[in-house]
């Protein structure tokens, strides 16, 4: 699994607790599926609404943010 240049790793440093994905799907999600089709790592899963982002797969490429027509995916700031 390759990581896009400049993308942050979703893995948390040892001892820092569970990993957090670099993005979050908000309640504005309409469930259209554009992000599901765009995510190169298949890190977004259709488990209800908002959709789930799997931190162990998300590389932080932000392609999902760019493609979301509802602006329902946001980049999270700071450490996981």
Domain spans in the chain, listed from the N-terminal domain onward: 33-75
| Two structure tokens written together for 33 | 């599926």
Tens of pLDDT, residues 16-54: 556 788 999 999 999 999 999 999 999 999 887 789 999
Give domain 33-75's CATH number out of 3.10.20.520, 3.40.50.720, 3.90.1150.10, 3.30.70.20. 3.30.70.20
Q: Which residue has the tokens 């942050």?
A: 8
- Rounded to two decimals, the pTM is 0.71
The predicted pLDDT at position 79 comes to 59
CA dist 54 and 31 (Å) reads 17
The answer to whether the CB of 16 falls within 8 A of the CB of 53 is no
């Amino acid at each position: 699994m390759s990581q896009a240049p400049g993308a942050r790793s979703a893995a948390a440093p040892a001892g820092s607790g569970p990993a957090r994905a670099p993005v979050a799907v908000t309640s504005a999600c309409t469930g259209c599926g554009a992000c599901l089709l765009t995510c190169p790592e298949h890190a977004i899963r259709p488990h209800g609404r908002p959709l789930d982002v799997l931190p162990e797969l998300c590389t932080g490429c932000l392609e999902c943010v760019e493609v979301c027509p509802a602006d329902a995916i946001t980049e999270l700031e700071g450490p996981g």
